[in-house]
Amino acid sequence: MSTMTASGLRPIRRSDQEWEIPRQGDMRVPAVLFATAELIEAMEDKVFEQAANVATLPGIIGASFAMPDAHWGYGFPIGGVAAFDPDEGGIISMGGVGFDISCGVRTLLTGVSADDIMARQKELADALLRHIPAGLGSTGAITLDPAEMDAMLAGGARWAVARGWGEAADLERTEERGCMADARSEFVSAKAKERQKREMGTLGSGNHYLEVQRVAEVLDPAAAEVYGLHLGDAVVTIHCGSRGLGHQIGTEALREMVATADRYGIRVPDRELACAPVHSEAGRHYLGAMRAAINCALANRQIITHLTREVFATVLPAARLDQLYDVSHNTCKVEEHEVDGRPRNLYVHRKGATRAFGPGHPDVPEALRSAGQPVLIGGTMGTASYVLRGTTEGMGKAFGSACHGAGRALSRRAAGKRWYGRQIIDQLAAEGIMVRSHSSRGIAEEAPGAYKDVTAVVDAADAAGLARKVVRLRPMICIKG
C-alpha cells in the first residue's frame, strides 16, 4: 500500500505546458500533467494524488497522464489517461472509464447561418425542449423489448440507423463507424437493461446538453474547410452518454473488481481503483459489458440526432444537419501505439478525455483524414465550445488523447448553493443565449461559473501539442437536462 500523501506530490515543471510527478513510493511510472502554471495552481491536490495512484497499477505503460481540464473523480481523475499492456500484467479498471460510459459529443453541420437561427430562436428552443426528452430519469417514446435491447447493445448507432433513426452517412462520421466490436449483451445485467429500456433518445441530466451554436471564430482555416466549418455558420452539438445502463454496469463492475483484485493479489492505494487483469474472467466480463454500453451511448446520440432533425425540418426546413463527427469520452479501447520503437496493442483508458488521432490515421474518416480527427470540446451554457483537430505530435505524447471539456471548478452542491436557476437563465438571455430546462436546480448546478475557463484549457491543450484549435463556438440555444 502506498504511503504517499498529496502534499508530497506537487508536480515538477518540465516545460511551459508539461509537469511531472516523478516515480516514488509504489509508482511504476511517473505521472504527467499537461497544463499551464495557472491551471496547475487551481487543481485540487486530490488530482495529483489520483494521478500518482493510477501510476501504481500493474502493466501501466509510459506514464499516468492528466489533461488540462483534470479534476477530482472516481478512481482516476477526470481528465485521466492511462494505457496498459496485458502481456505485462496489464489491468482494466472501472475507475478508469467511469460510470457514464461513452459520454460523448456529436456535432452536426446545419447548412444555415447563425442569423437564420436567431430569427427563429424562441420557436426552435421551445420545439427542441418539447421533442427531446431531458432531465433526471427522463424517458422517451421508445421502449425496447429484450430482443431489441440485445440488438441495440450489439449494434450501436448501426442498429439505430437500420431502424430509421438516421442515415448511413452518419456512421462514417462516428467513432468506431457507429458500432463497438466485441460487445457482449449477455454480460449486461437484467437490472441494467431494465433501467435503459425506456431511456433511448434521452439527454439525461447533469452536464449533458443539446446546444445550437454559432461559429464565432475560425482559428485554422485549412482544417475548418476540411470540416465544413465557416465563420457565422450554425452547428448543433449533442452531449450525452449511456444513461442508467452505463451507471449500473459501473456499479456492478466495481463490486466484482474489488473481489478480483484481492484474488490476484493486486494491491491498490484506493478502493475506487479496483481492477482486474485484462485476461481474467472479471476483466473479460467488464470489457464485454462496457463495450455494450458504448454502443448504447452511440445509439442514444444517433436517436437524438434524428429527433433534432425532425424539429429542424418543421421550424427551419432549409437546414441539413449533416454530421461532422461523434467522439466518446469515458472508454477503454484496444489500440495500437508505438512504444520504445515497436507497435504494441494497449488497453487505453480515457476518463473524461477524448481520442485525438492525428492526420493520416486509418481510424479517422477518409473525408477528414488530411486534417486529423475532430476533437469536440464542450464548454458551458454561457461560454465557448471548441472544435480542435488531432495531431501527429499528440499521438506520441498521451496515446492520441486530449481534454474533453472545461472541467469543473465547483461541485454541483456548491454551485447549487451559490446560484439560482432563474438568475442564470436571465443572465444568459441578456447575452442572447436562450436556455431551456425542466430543472431550475440543474441549471444552477451547471452555471458557467462552476467550470474552469474553457479557453484556458483549450489553449493549454493546443500549446502542448495534444490537439490544435480549429474553431471557437458560441451558444445560441441550450437545452439542459
Could you tell me the end-to-end alpha-carbon distance of the chain, in angstroms, rounded to an integer? 41
CA dist 443 and 439 (Å) reads: 7
Q: Is-contact 67 405, C-beta < 8 A?
A: no
DSSP state of 165: S
- CA-based max dimension of the chain: 63
How many CB atoms neighbour CB 463 within 10 A?
Answer: 18
Distances (CA, A) of 257 to 93, 94, 265, 384: 8, 8, 12, 39
CA dist 67 and 82 (Å) reads: 11
- Whether the predicted model's global pTM rises above the 0.85 cut: yes
- Summarize the chain as % helix, strand, coil (round to 5): 40, 25, 35
Catalytic residue among 71, 247, 329, 404: 404
Instruction: Give the 3-state secondary structure of residue 269.
Output: coil
**Catalytic residue list contains 131:** no
Q: Is-contact 58 90, C-beta < 8 A?
A: yes
CA dist 225 and 385 (Å) reads: 18
Q: Which residues contact 405 (CB under 8 A, 6 or more apart)?
A: 69, 207, 352, 377, 378, 379, 451, 454, 457
CA dist 73 and 405 (Å) reads: 14
Q: Output the tens digit of pLDDT for each of the chain's 481 residues.
A: 333 444 468 899 999 999 999 999 999 999 999 999 999 999 999 999 999 999 999 999 999 999 999 999 999 999 999 999 999 999 999 999 999 999 999 999 999 999 999 999 999 999 999 999 887 778 889 999 999 999 999 999 999 999 999 999 999 999 999 999 999 999 999 999 999 999 999 998 888 999 999 999 999 999 999 999 999 999 999 999 999 999 999 999 999 999 999 999 999 999 999 999 999 999 999 999 999 999 999 999 999 999 999 999 999 999 999 999 999 999 999 999 999 999 999 999 999 999 999 999 999 999 999 999 999 999 888 889 999 999 999 999 999 999 998 888 888 888 888 988 889 989 999 999 999 988 888 888 888 888 889 999 999 999 999 999 999 999 999 998 7
CA dist 329 and 348 (Å) reads: 12
Pairing of strands 91-93, 275-277: antiparallel
The closest alpha carbon to 364, from 130, 174, 229, 189, belongs to: 174
Task: Give the distance from CA 110 to its chain's centroid.
Answer: 22
465 phi and psi angles, rounded to 5 deg = 80, 10
Q: Where are the domains of the chain?
A: 104-251+275-480
4 phi and psi angles, rounded to 5 deg = -70, 145
Q: Is-contact 322 228, C-beta < 8 A?
A: yes
The fold of the 104-251+275-480 domain, in CATH, is tRNA-splicing ligase RtcB (3.90.1860)
Grid coordinates representing 176 are 468506431
